[in-house]
Amino acid sequence: MYDGNMNTFRRNGQVAMVVILVVLVGLTIGVAILGRGVTNVGLSNQEEERARSFSAAEAGVEDALRQDLLSIVAGSGGGQFNVGESAVSYTVAKLTHVTSEINPGEVVTVDWSKSGASSFSVAWTGSTCSSNLVAITITSAGAVVHSVPSSPATFPKSPGGLVRMRFAGCRTNVTIDGIGGDLSFFQVDSVGTFGEAHSKVEVVRSAPAASGLLDFAVFSGADID
């Protein structure tokens, strides 16, 4: 009788241990799934915050480019506003140094009426070829001077005029430095904030100028018979 009770007690104890182990395994799996779910929700929230903050930063750039950049620089130097629950803050500054990669045929313009420099220098290097610069200087009186300078080249200021530069041959790495003042290029830095996420967008834009397409269409390096 005693042995039978002991066997029953042992069997019951073994069953209880198995149940406890099953419960522990189930709890472990449940906690792991719950933790992964919380992590996924957290990552999803972070991605949404980053996306909204980036959209807000882009909105700041768009707002700045809709306005006269020279007026912004001369005035408040920037702006702030809200887009829904996102905060936007941007600044606009004139540049004395610009670097960019220019596609063949693109025109870069320096507008002296919007530049404080007394002259500027330009240096360029073709990415896959020996790139050439064809430049025209248009004075305030309407005179046009064509040139094909070597790198680096320096252009003195022509008050009220402008210099258009077209790089031919291949994609070209170009560096422009204002001498004695700023150039007619602006940098817009916009920061968007949503929740704990912050995104920044930076854009460099030249002052608006008339199209330079026909400036080069009438130029020939040789005599026209």
Per-residue pLDDT tens over the stretch 72-110 = 999 999 999 999 999 999 999 999 999 999 998 888 999
pLDDT tens sequence across 17-56? 766 777 777 677 766 676 665 555 555 778 888 999 999 9
If we measure between CA atoms, which residue out of 205, 206, 198 comes closest to residue 50?
198
What would the DSSP string read from start to end of 9-37?
A: HHHHHHHHHHHHHHHHHHHHHHHHHHHHH
Higher confidence at residue 218 or residue 209?
209
pLDDT at position 16 is 66
Residues belonging to the chain: 225
pTM of this structure: 0.72
Give residue-wise pLDDT tens across range 128-177: 888 788 888 887 767 778 888 888 999 999 888 889 998 888 899 999 99
Q: Tell me, what's the pLDDT at 143?
A: 74
Contact 174, 102 (CB under 8 A): yes
Over residues 10-20, the mean pLDDT reads: 64
User: Cβ atoms within 10 A of the Cβ of 87, count?
Assistant: 17
DSSP 3-state of 136: strand
Q: Has residue 210 got a pLDDT over 90?
A: no
Query: For the segment 46-78, what is each residue's pLDDT rounded down to a tens digit?
Result: 888 899 999 999 999 999 999 999 999 999 999
Q: Taking Cα atoms as reference points, which of 185, 203, 217, 220 lies closest to residue 105?
A: 217
- CA atoms of 225 and 222, how far apart (whole Å): 9
CA–CA dist 204, 66 (Å, integer):
14
CA atoms 46, 50, 55, 59: torsion sign: positive
Q: How far apart are CA 204 and CA 65, in angstroms?
A: 10
d(CA 223, CA 12): 110
The pLDDT assigned to 219 comes to 42
* CATH code at 61-217: 2.60.120
For residue 37, the model assigns a pLDDT of: 59
Q: How far is CA 62 from CA 81, 84, 89, 112, 214, in A?
A: 12, 16, 12, 25, 29
